[in-house]
Amino acid sequence: MGDYINPPEGTKEDWLEENGELVAAPSWPPPADMVLVCLVDNGPFTAAAICYDEGEFSEFNAPDPTYEEVAELKARAEARGIKVVTAGCGEQRPRTWYVVSRKNIVEVCPDVAEMLP
């Protein structure tokens, strides 16, 4: 997972309020010349993920793993000798979806221009 909105001035929440439109039930593909952005509340911080393709959209639209799923994945990794640290896993993180014009996304995050549909 890859690219996030971090405006040079103000918060990402303010930037999204000014440049985006709330979406109640996001779906792929986004409207023409628009980009889906998922604002995830991670507790101590938020992340505004740019969904530049269907795979990225699916990752952010999927539910977070349950405690049981996290424990199973951790056990499998540790059985292979991989040390795993988890924090706050197993609870659904709140998400707010927006659509933002491609132009505005490229202005704030030019590195994604070539990846956008």
Residue 6 lies in a domain: no
pLDDT number for residue 89: 59
Asked whether residue 47 is domain-assigned, the answer is yes
For residue 77, being part of any structural domain is answered with: no
User: CA-CA distance, 48 to 22, in Å (whole number)?
Assistant: 13
Which pair of structure tokens corresponds to residue 96? 């707010």
Q: Is residue 82 part of a domain?
A: no
Number of domains in the chain: 1
Boundaries of domain holding 19: 12-63+93-112
Per-position pLDDT tens, the chain of length 117? 579 999 999 999 999 999 999 999 999 999 999 999 999 998 889 999 999 999 999 989 988 778 888 888 888 888 999 877 665 555 678 999 999 999 999 999 999 999 987
Query: Is pTM, for the whole model, over 0.85?
Result: no
Buried b (16+ CB within 10 A) or exposed e, 2-36: ebbbebeeeebeebbeebbeebeebeeebeeebbb
Amino acid 84: pLDDT? 73
For 36, the 3-state DSSP assignment is strand
Element (H, E) at 60: helix 54-61
| Domain-embedded: residue 117 | no
pLDDT of amino acid 87: 55
Determine, yes or no, domain membership for 68.
Answer: no
83 in any annotated domain: no
Domain membership flag for residue 25: yes
